[in-house]
Homo-oligomer: A and B are copies of this chain.
Amino acid sequence: MSTSSTPPAPPPSNRISGTAISKEIRAELAVECSSIKSTVTPGLAVILVGSRPDSLAYVRMKKKACAEVGIDSFGYDYPETVTQQELIDKVNELNADPKVHGILVQLPLPNHIVENLVTSAVHPDKDVDGLHPLNCAKLVTAQTHGGSVKMNWKDLKSIPFHIACTPQGCIELLDRSGVEIEGKRAVVIGRSNLVGMPVSLLLNHRNATITIVHSRTIDAQSVVRTADIVIAAVGRAKMVKSDWLKEGAVVIDVGINSVDAPDTKKGYRLVGDVDFDECEGKCEKITPVPGGVGPMTIAMLLRNTVNSAKRVCGI
């Protein structure tokens, strides 16, 4: 028997790294942008209202990410006092601008503006956030304007309409981590228009059997325990505990919650909807927060923008 000092290989990590996967996707998009450069440079218009620090940070990150992959970004910044009509006029101008393939209205907008009147003004073809009712409807019916089409849901890049970025990112994380979706039981916690509902519809199209859990669900815990795949998108810090999970579940944590942390410099820490430390050992795979779903949202925005440019050019 050897007492060799070669250390044992570290156990394979069960963490799904959104940071690494999104980097991979951005590198692919950079190659793609470079290969279509002679025909088109994808362009993203970003409308920002006011000066919320989180909105400023998101917009800065999005523009930086655009630059890195080779997408032109065009910023339109407005004061808090802008009128709804001014924003809609700008959207209409951008709808007609051939340099712009995607239009992003950074949310939230101030209270005097009806958000979905502005986001619905974006032409569905340029709606890279996937918020327009027509893009939303296609997610239910899987129909394109040209008729009922059997979508290739396996390859989201081929879908001829825009799917909201965060839900699309969740599916991409599963796919790129080798998680089979078809035939699985998936439980989605949360039923928001931005994440819970669309990710449920996507999982259904990919032939998972979905259950949607929400605030009025009685004994949510026992429902979640039936799931092979759990998507937590409810916005409550560490709500999902290890006894909510089936042994070997795959967990995608969409939540980003700020909790007090006097021991840190910032005084707070970001945590997910899942109690990561408690659950990690029980999961087949799990996304951390931060570094899980978060980085995927921007990567999917970039992909939607590149797809939009390619479609316009018939590539």
Contact = CB atoms under 8 A, between A and B. Distances in A.
B114 A193 contact: no
Given A209-B223, A210-B212, A211-B209, A120 B145 contact: yes
Contacts of A139: 140
Nearest to A209: B217
A137 B197 CA distance: 11
A145 B120 CA distance: 9
A171 to B, nearest CB: 16
Interface string A199-217: 0010010010111111011
A143 interface: yes
Instruction: Please tell me how many copies of the chain the complex holds.
Output: 2
A204 B188 CA distance: 12
A103 B216 CA distance: 37
A57 interface: no
A116 interface: yes
A115 B148 contact: yes
Nearest to A228: B218
5 contacts: A117-B145, A133-B143, A136-B140, A140-B197, A210-B212
Interface of A: 114-117, 120, 133-134, 136-143, 145-148, 182-183, 185, 191, 193, 197, 201, 204, 207, 209-214, 216-218, 223, 226
Given A114-B146, A116-B145, A226-B226, 12 more contacts: A116-B143, A117-B146, A133-B141, A133-B143, A134-B137, A139-B140, A141-B193, A185-B223, A191-B204, A207-B216, A209-B218, A209-B223
